[in-house]
Amino acid sequence: MATSPSLFPGVTGLLGEAGLLREIENDWRCVVVKKPFGRDLESAVVLNHELHHNMDERQIYRINHYLGKETVQNIMVFRFANGFI
């Protein structure tokens, strides 16, 4: 999910309503949230609370932009190199 931090709760709320965050049998779902995680401690606590409305803690990955950059690039290469996806 690459979006403005202010949109994280709305996006995850809609994903939750659509059932796209629900884990069934061996299928797992997760959301990667990169920095900044809120503007300050108070907004980070509120954002964390909002994310937990639709997901368990184990489904939320908080990463630093530079630590996650290579992972996102690898996903993009995998996605566009495989026509069946």
SS3 61: strand
**In the prediction, which pLDDT does 18 show?**
92
How far apart (Å, rounded) are the C-alpha atoms in residues 75 and 65?
A: 15
Average pLDDT over residues 7-34: 87
Residue 44 tokens read as 């980070």
Length of the chain: 85
C-alpha to C-alpha distances, 10 to 27, 34, 51, 54, nearest whole angstrom? 23, 16, 9, 11
Residue 49 tokens read as 């609370």
Domains and CATH numbers, the chain: 5-81 (3.40.50.720)
The whole model's pTM is what? 0.64
**In the prediction, which pLDDT does 85 show?**
53
